[in-house]
Amino acid sequence: MSVFVPPFLVYLLGAPLLLLLRGRARQVCLVALAAVGAAVTFLLGEGTGWSVRFMEYDLVLLRVDRLSLLMGYIFSLITLLAALYAAAFARPRLHLYALLYAGTNIGAVFAGDFVTLLLFWELMAITSTLLVWELGADAVPAGLRYLLFHVFGGALLAGGIAAHFLEAGNLAVGPVSGGWSSVLIALGAGVNVGFIPLHTWLPDTYPRAHIASSVFLSVYTTKAAVYLFARAQPGVEAIALMGGVMALYGVSFALVQNNMRKLLSYHIVSQVGYMVAGVGLGTAAGVNGGMAHVFNHILYKALLFMAIGAVIHATGRETMDRLGGLGRKMPVTAATFWVAAFAISGVPGFNGYVSKGMVIDAARDLLPLRILLEAAAFGTFLSFLKVGYFVFLRPGEVEGRDPPATMRVAQASTAALCVVIGLVPSLLFGLLPQGNTYDPWDPSHLLDAVLVLAAAAGTFLAVGRTWLLPHEPRVKDADVAYLATGRGTAAAATALLDTSRHVYQAFVATIARIGHASRRSQTGDLNWNLVGLAIALALIVSWLLWEMA
Amino acid sequence: MIVLLLAVALPFLAVPVILALRRQPNPREAASLLASVGTFVLVASLIPSSLAGAPAAGDVVAVAPGLSIGFRADLLGLLFASVASLLWIPTTVYSIGYMRGRKEHAQTRYFACFASVIGATMGVALAANLFTLLVFYEILTISTYPLVAHEGTAEAHRAGRKYLIYTLGGGAAILAGLAISFGSTGDVAFVEGGNPSLATLPPETIQGIGALLLAGFGVKATLFPLQGWLPSAMVAPTPVSGLLHAVAVVKAGVFGILRTVFFFVGPGLTGSLGLQSVLLTLAVATILYGSFLALTQDNLKLRLAYSTISQLSYIVLGAALLSPAGLLGAAFHIAAHGFAKLSMFFVAGSIALETGKTRISELDGIGRRMPGTMVAFAIAAVAMASLPPMAPFVSKWYLSVGAWEAGQWLPVLVLAISSVLNVAYFFPIVVRAFFFGAPGGRGEGTRPVYGPVLATALGALVLGVWTALPFGPFEIARSLARGLFP
């Protein structure tokens, strides 16, 4: 049995129901909607359809092929798991915004034309901002900064799509080749994907939202952007290299963080760098690797945010410097954390190892990229040893308990998926857009991974417990530049206002002065008036005579 | 033809009725309401024939050979006339609530002048030639003056004086342009694609005429550096600020620019004689200038005024691109911006009425007291940022396509920056309203005030989603663009 219904309808139409229900009914409705959405997605048959007239175009709301199905599967699956997690909290608006956000992303990846994609892209920005703001307090100014970035990115994307539309003559989602269209689409998607230095909104916002919101936030926006790159601009070497830069930059900043969710956020930048690198390489192996990494990353990153969210929920603390000893007090959380940590670090037997290996392997002909990715892998394991040790392993007095049942089920299920895919990667290979030739169990790949992991482990054991002792980082990210720009803009605006006022007043004063000066010519003296009259007459007569001649 | 003339005449006919009913407020207001509904119905009824290619037209009186008062219900005119007359309806309802809520003085004068303004706007929109347009343009100026200076305070008089100096000065420039062209060609009719008799003149003359007309209309269109009158005019009662300065008066200015570029000088000459680059530069400058200055204003209505200055130049930008998509975007933005900005002005007035507050720094927590009102403001703010599902998203899309059609990249970048700036100066208001401050009681405002707030915001949403609305602004704008760029 197959269906052909756009899954986004389930989320966007169903989400408002959540506001009408209370308590247990709402929890059930949340999970049920996510389940229905996943069911519809998994039952989709390939094809194109659901055409709607908007502006002057026939939009295509549903385009189902291998690539969009891959995205749809993982998005709808993680929505279900994240919904289970979020159901533990009695926050109706959080649930509403989360489902709306999920729906807009699913709409974007199944879009058959660029205008539909653009519409969902901008709605993604609005719904995710609402999700961030839902918590109130610190999340509010962060959400405003987030919105500024995403509106700018969306506007650049719109400009690029408009340019492409004129060049290509149609709106179908596909490769983009023109000059301006490529640059603008890359920049617009680059904001969402976290190109350095357009990434600062990510570590600024994700740690400040509600812990359940962070789970949702971590999985969609950046991956939808990777999908856009895979459709519109695969195989651009500059983008692949940017992916490498993102990988190393992200992990470097992550390593020095004290705030756990900020550390995870920087890792998003880093891991998305792998995906961007894979897609940027453009080869079948590269795109497969990048998309496989999208799938796996969504699973283990959501799990990381779930586990760390459980720690924050239990202890009330966001930073590692005052944590410790939770391994025994929160066994389920600890176990699922370690599964995710091994997955993100690329430990063989977990899903991350497979896709990370695919990307690094695809990069073997581009040495600078390869170096960046391997170095980032080293830093990744190192930073998760840091988190694992200082939160769970080292002795500590902070109290903590495992979270409520739905959250534990969500964590455990996600962890199970990470392990299953890690052990039976052919399950994932069957979903990839291109035929797969990568063998994760090839000894060279195993050796590669083990070496990096051993190096990181050795480093941590030797010096990590002292050098990486959690404390407030002294390094500042590019935020500094943006804040300065903001302040500069405000100052420039005030200066502009003052200048305008002065110019206007000077202009008015000059006119007034001319008026005053010309008053003096009104002497009231008949003789002077006659003289003036005579001069004027003489001038007019001479001009007339000259004209007639 | 009768319908056409009646559409212009009806608001004017309401003026003596309103004056006669000065001692009976309810029948007096009913007269305004009837006139507003009637005008819109008349205007709307002219749309189908115009879309079919047979616009209603007719001359009323010939003042001199070649100089007549004549009207023509073509697509651009009907777009403007329908938007202005439709929005007059909620504004009248709002005015009733607002003026009575504040126990304002001189309400008869207010409603009578309002009707006259709308009549003049219809005259401007449906004018078949430059002379008719100028006559009604000046009537518009004169009718607006008592509304701007309504409060009667020293500040109001200063604002009114400034307004007159600017707009009568602009009118003088238009008159000069009209005089030169009539004197040289004897034909000042509006013709699709430009008046052909103008093309016979020497290029410097055409440039002079074009510059005078564009500068003259540019005053009301708040084109930099002629925008100074609008912020001062915010001293007027809020419904005046809203409809007149966000929808009717200022839109008459951009409308005049559209008429000049596409129906008088013509896009070909505008491009070849250097007028296009000047207009583009000024439009870009105005968009940025308005948005930057909006950042500095704590008074809510002033922030809205500077935003209007910026948004109006979206329309001028679209016109200056001289491309089909640019024209579509510009024309549609007349409607898109009108609904959204009017809603924001209504919110400002509603807040002032309920709480007495006019400064943004005082508005913390207002969203908890007036949630529906502030949600309307929020979705209007989404509109100002040109985000879907609001109508200005459609304008922004077509302006971007139009820019590429014209081979210009700068407008695309400027539109992106402007969207960000709009978020920067509108969303903090929304955020502070809902997330900061302490709630204190609930009160959305009386129904005549609250209803129009919601209705106009909803209108901007409907226009943004249902682009296929029959005889709606999108269909009109599209036919207009197709007709001028076959």
Q: Which residues of B touch A490 (CB under 8 A)?
A: 295-296
Tell me which residue in A152, A165, A493 faces B293 most closely, judged by beta carbons: A493
Q: Which residues of B touch A123 (CB under 8 A)?
A: 388-389
> Which of A12, A52, A56 best tests the B interface by mutation, with the highest count of B CBs <10 A?
A56
Which of A205, A233, A261 represents a domain boundary (last residue)? A233
Find residue A49's DSSP bridge partners.
A62
Q: Are B247 and B87 spatial neighbours (Cβ–Cβ below 8 Å)? A: yes
Say what the pLDDT of residue A177 is: 86
Same domain, A298 and A228: no
A255-268 residue pLDDT tens: 999 999 999 999 99
CA distance B425 to B292: 9
Which of the four pLDDT bands, split at 50, 70 and 90, describes residue B38? Answer: very high
CA distance A508 to A478: 45
CA distance A351 to A342: 9
CA distance A9 to A36: 11
Same domain, A265 and A404: yes
CB contact under 8 A, B292 and A184: no
Q: Are B72 and B190 spatial neighbours (Cβ–Cβ below 8 Å)? A: yes
Residue of A nearest to B427 (CA): A144
Q: Are A302 and A218 spatial neighbours (Cβ–Cβ below 8 Å)? A: yes
Which of A233, A248, A268 represents a domain boundary (last residue)? A233
Which of A471, A492, A512 represents a domain boundary (last residue)? A471
Same domain, A343 and A307: yes
Number of other CB atoms surrounding residue B364 within 10 Å: 17
User: b/e map of B32-71 (b: 16 or more CB within 10 Å)?
Assistant: beebbebbbebbbebbeebbeeebbeeebeeeeeebbbbb
CA distance A412 to A402: 12
CA distance B90 to B346: 10
CA distance A289 to A281: 10
Residue A477 lies in a domain: no
B71-108 residue pLDDT tens: 999 999 999 999 999 999 999 999 999 999 888 899 99
Same domain, A20 and A139: yes
Residue of B nearest to A134 (CA): B435
> What is the arithmetic mean of pLDDT over A25-36?
95
Residue of A nearest to B294 (CA): A493
Q: Which residues of B touch A143 (CB under 8 A)?
A: 431
Same domain, A418 and A507: no
Same domain, A399 and A502: no
Tell me which residue in B296, B396, B420 faces A158 most closely, judged by beta carbons: B396
User: b/e map of A450-487 (b: 16 or more CB within 10 Å)?
Assistant: eebbeebeebbeeebeeebebeeeeeebeeeebeeeee
First CA to last CA distance, chain B? 28
CB contact under 8 A, A493 and B405: no
Q: Which residue has the higher pLDDT, B84 or B486?
A: B84
In order of A224, A292, A294, A547, B333, the CA distances from A67 in angstroms are 12, 11, 11, 82, 37
CA distance A353 to A347: 5
Beta strands B57-64; A47-54: pairing state: unpaired
CA distance B307 to B286: 10
The token duo for A139 is 């999340």
Question: Who's near A325: CB < 8 A, 6+ residues apart?
Answer: A392, A394, A395, A396, A397, A398
Say what the pLDDT of residue B247 is: 81
> What is the arithmetic mean of pLDDT over B101-125?
93
Question: Is pLDDT at B455 greater than 90 in this prediction?
Answer: yes
Residue A411: closest CA among A106, A92, A86: A86
Find residue B267's DSSP bridge partners.
none
A178-220 residue pLDDT tens: 789 999 999 999 999 999 999 999 999 999 999 999 999 999 9
Say what the pLDDT of residue B244 is: 79
Residue A497 lies in a domain: yes
What's the angle, vertex CA B273, arms to CA B271 and CA B277, rounded to 5?
A: 55
Same domain, A367 and A395: yes
Backbone angles phi, psi at A495, to 5 degrees: -60, -40
Residue A524 lies in a domain: yes
Same domain, A370 and A318: yes
Interface confidence, given as ipTM, is 0.94
Q: Cite the DSSP H helix spans in A316-397.
A: 326-329, 331-345, 351-362, 367-387
Helix (H) or strand (E) holding B193: none
Q: Quick one: three-class SS letters along A113-169?
A: EHHHHHHHHHHHHHHHHHHHHCCCCCHHHHHHHHHHHHHHHHHHHHHHHHHHHHHHC
> CA A427 from chain center: how many Å?
27
Residue A287 lies in a domain: yes
> What is the arithmetic mean of pLDDT over A72-91?
96
> What is the arithmetic mean of pLDDT over A524-536?
88
Question: Who's near A127: CB < 8 A, 6+ residues apart?
Answer: A97, A100, A101, A104
CA distance B323 to A98: 41
What's the angle, vertex CA A455, arms to CA A451 and CA A458, rounded to 5?
A: 135
Q: Which residues of B touch A155 (CB under 8 A)?
A: 386, 396, 415-416, 419-420
Which 8-state DSSP code applies to residue A54? E
Residue A478 lies in a domain: no
CA distance A230 to A288: 10
- For residues A282, A287, A293, A296, the Cα torsion angle rounded to the nearest 10 degrees is 170
Which 8-state DSSP code applies to residue B226? S
Q: Which residues of B touch A157 (CB under 8 A)?
A: none
The token duo for B361 is 């720094």
Please report, for chain B, how many H helices and E strands are present, in that order. 21, 2
Same domain, A372 and A279: yes
Question: Is pLDDT at B263 greater than 90 in this prediction?
Answer: yes
Say what the pLDDT of residue B439 is: 65
> Residue A23, class by beta-carbon neighbours within 10 Å (0-12 exposed, 13-18 middle, 19+ buried)?
exposed
Sign of CA dihedral B274, B279, B285, B289: positive
CB contact under 8 A, B296 and A497: yes
Question: Who's near B108: CB < 8 A, 6+ residues apart?
Answer: B18, B19, B21, B22, B28
Which of the four pLDDT bands, split at 50, 70 and 90, describes residue B442? Answer: confident
CA–CA min distance A362, chain B (Å):
36
CA distance A129 to A177: 32
Same domain, A255 and A314: yes
Question: Is pLDDT at A549 greater than 80 in this prediction?
Answer: no
What total of structural domains would you count in chain A? 3
Residue A479's Cβ-side half-sphere holds a number of Cα atoms within 13 Å equal to 13
- How many Cβ pairs within 8 Å bridge chains A and B? 103
Q: Which residues of B touch A165 (CB under 8 A)?
A: 401
CA distance A436 to A412: 29
Number of other CB atoms surrounding residue A20 within 10 Å: 10
Residue A210: closest CA among A128, A150, A330, A104: A128
Question: Who's near A145: CB < 8 A, 6+ residues apart?
Answer: A201, A204, A205, A482
> What is the arithmetic mean of pLDDT over A514-519?
90
The token duo for B86 is 């439709």
The token duo for A394 is 């080292």
Q: Which residues of B touch A489 (CB under 8 A)?
A: 292, 295, 424
Q: Are A124 and A221 spatial neighbours (Cβ–Cβ below 8 Å)? A: yes
Return the axis-axis angle of helices B447-465 and B75-101, rounded to nearest 10°.
150
Residue A476 lies in a domain: no
CB contact under 8 A, A159 and B416: yes
B188-234 residue pLDDT tens: 999 999 999 998 999 999 999 999 999 999 999 999 999 999 999 99
Residue A363 lies in a domain: yes
Average pLDDT score, chain B? 93
CA distance B429 to B444: 17
User: b/e map of A30-67 (b: 16 or more CB within 10 Å)?
Assistant: bbebbbbbbebbeebeeebebeeebbbbebbbbbbeeb
Domain housing A513: 483-548
Question: Is pLDDT at B63 greater than 90 in this prediction?
Answer: no
In order of B80, B149, B211, B463, the CA distances from B84 in angstroms are 6, 22, 27, 15
Question: Who's near A109: CB < 8 A, 6+ residues apart?
Answer: A68, A71, A72, A75, A224, A227
Q: Are B403 and B364 spatial neighbours (Cβ–Cβ below 8 Å)? A: no
Residue A248 lies in a domain: yes
Same domain, A118 and A154: yes
First CA to last CA distance, chain A? 99
CA distance B449 to A225: 43
Say what the pLDDT of residue B440 is: 67
- pTM attached to this predicted model: 0.94
B338-384 residue pLDDT tens: 999 999 999 999 999 988 899 999 999 899 889 999 999 999 999 99
Residue A370's Cβ-side half-sphere holds a number of Cα atoms within 13 Å equal to 9
Same domain, A415 and A508: no
